[in-house]
Amino acid sequence: MIVEDDPLLSIVEEKLVRSLGYEVAGKATSGEDAINSILDINPSILLMDIQLAGSLNGIETMKKLRNLNIEIPVIFLSGDNSDVVISEANAVNYTDFLLKPVSKAALSESLEKAELSLSSESQFAA
């Protein structure tokens, strides 16, 4: 699932994801919409922009999801990799942090990491 408030970037990210052989289960432009959609469609991996429309940014959205015990792998996308943003992102369990513009190679590597985390979690599931 892609959570991105910039329509053009959302299209580019979707094309990248699809070109890597993944499906896009859904899209959202705000943290609030993302939470509702995630509860409905239960995607396997999230691509989450940090600066979003609405009152929740990507990190706050992930905190709310983690508080709901939703441990979905998340790849943060941001144009800002300042120490403050990285420190805030470290407050939630995330798979990767990619700086925009995202390259196909970097996204491919991050999606593979997220898939590995999914398979390792299922090994321990009862």
Per residue in 51-99, pLDDT tens? 999 999 999 999 999 999 999 999 999 999 999 999 999 999 999 999 9
**What's the whole-number mean pLDDT along residues 7-23?**
97
Is the pTM higher than 0.85? The answer reads yes
Residue 121 has pLDDT above 80, yes or no: no
- DSSP letters of 31-100? HHHHHHHHHHH--S-EEEESS-BSS--HHHHHHHHHHTT----EEEEES---HHHHHHHTTS--SEEEES
**What's the whole-number mean pLDDT along residues 18-29?**
98
Is the four-CA dihedral 85, 106, 120, 39 of positive or negative sign?
A: positive
Average pLDDT, the chain: 94
Which residues on neighbouring strands pair with residue 16, listed in sequence order? none
Which CATH homologous superfamily contains domain 2-120?
Response regulator (3.40.50.2300)
Strand, helix or coil at 16?
helix
